[in-house]
């Protein structure tokens, strides 16, 4: 008896190594007592497999487990599609760093087999809601598992904005932009920008300036329930971009407001037994290993 009955597969098909891992995973799962569904794109890897093809909306409604084969970017895309649904997400790493996709390709059969046997850890990760307003009218909205970033786009020019937290004025800043990061995203772009590493279970957000004009502008950590509001200064002579997880973006204009809050939607992320956040940091970030008793 497996812990999951209907499993959806999603993969990043640009990589031949990903295609190999998907084929290997399907071969393993076909021997288990599970139903296998492939999303539209992933099915092209197995054109003659005879497996059912389903849209991501169908996968969200029918599957109790989604396995993502690829890098963290692939899982970020899946997170936004499946957040708020009663489905678990498991990642197999075919990317580079792999903070979210933590099963190595060599361990597919063993680790996925353990998960199917019910030997796994579950985490609920919250997402960020982002809304862009112009004259109190909502122009666009987006979801982000990692971060929302306000930046100048391809131009290397500073932007100016005002920051408010829970309607309290914080500062007026000139910089290359601002990263608003969830705990999940604290080991991604925010880390490169000098932000703090936050444990995934924290109910908090980090605000990390990108190359601020004043050296006294430092990252700020606020509670997860905070309402973060940025007003794009009228003095800007360019249109800053608002990006969610580096995958979807909207162009703003001077006078616009960007509001970021904790989303009501969450993501159920699972790991094989023995997963440890600090061990992941040690292996991915090159921290020194333990050499003796504390």
CA 42 to chain centre: 20
Closest CA to 250 of 153, 158, 160, 157: 153
Residue 184 DSSP one-character state? G
Which residues are CB-neighbours of 147 under 8 A, at least 6 positions away?
128, 179, 180, 181, 182, 185, 188, 189, 190, 244, 245, 246
- What does the alpha-carbon distance between residue 219 and residue 207 come to, in Å, rounded to a whole number? 5
> What's the count of helices (H) and strands (E) in the chain, helices before strands?
6, 17
Contact yes or no for 127/89 (Cβ under 8 A): no
- CB environment 154-174: b (16+ within 10 A), e (fewer): eeeebbbbebbbeeeebeebb
72 is catalytic: yes
Dihedral sign, Cα of residue 160, residue 165, residue 166, residue 169: negative
- What does the alpha-carbon distance between residue 28 and residue 105 come to, in Å, rounded to a whole number? 13
Which of 39, 40, 48, 72 is flagged as catalytic? 72
- What does the alpha-carbon distance between residue 192 and residue 194 come to, in Å, rounded to a whole number? 5
Residue by residue, DSSP assigns 83-114 as: TTSS-EEEEEE-SSS-SS--B-GGGHHHHHHH
Active-site annotation, residues? 72
């Amino acid at each position: 008896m497996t812990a999951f009955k209907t499993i959806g597969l999603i993969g990043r098909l640009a990589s031949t190594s990903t295609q190999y891992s998907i084929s290997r995973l399907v071969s393993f799962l076909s021997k288990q007592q599970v139903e296998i569904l492939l999303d539209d794109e992933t099915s092209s890897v197995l054109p003659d497999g005879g497996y059912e093809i389903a849209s991501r909306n169908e996968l969200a409604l029918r599957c109790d487990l989604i396995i993502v084969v690829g890098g963290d970017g692939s899982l970020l895309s899946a997170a936004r599609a499946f957040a708020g649904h009663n489905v678990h997400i498991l990642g197999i790493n075919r990317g580079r760093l792999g903070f979210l996709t933590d099963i190595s390709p060599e361990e597919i059969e063993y680790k996925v087999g353990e998960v199917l046997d019910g030997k796994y850890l579950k985490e609920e990760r919250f997402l960020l809601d982002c809304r862009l307003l112009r004259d109190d009218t909502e122009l666009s909205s987006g979801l982000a598992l990692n971060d929302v970033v306000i930046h100048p786009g391809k131009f290397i020019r500073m932007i100016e904005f005002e920051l408010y937290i829970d309607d309290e004025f914080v500062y007026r800043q000139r910089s290359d932009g601002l990263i608003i990061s969830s705990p999940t995203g604290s080991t991604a772009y925010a880390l490169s920008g000098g932000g703090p590493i936050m444990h995934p279970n924290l109910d908090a957000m980090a605000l990390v300036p990108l190359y601020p004009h004043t050296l006294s502008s430092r990252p700020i950590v606020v509670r997860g329930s905070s309402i973060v509001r940025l007003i794009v200064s009228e003095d800007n002579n360019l249109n800053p971009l608002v990006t969610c997880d580096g995958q979807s973006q909207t162009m703003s204009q001077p006078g616009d407001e960007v509001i970021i809050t904790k989303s009501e939607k969450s993501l159920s992320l699972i790991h094989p037994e023995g997963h440890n956040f600090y061990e992941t940091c040690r292996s991915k970030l090159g921290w020194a290993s333990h050499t003796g008793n504390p």
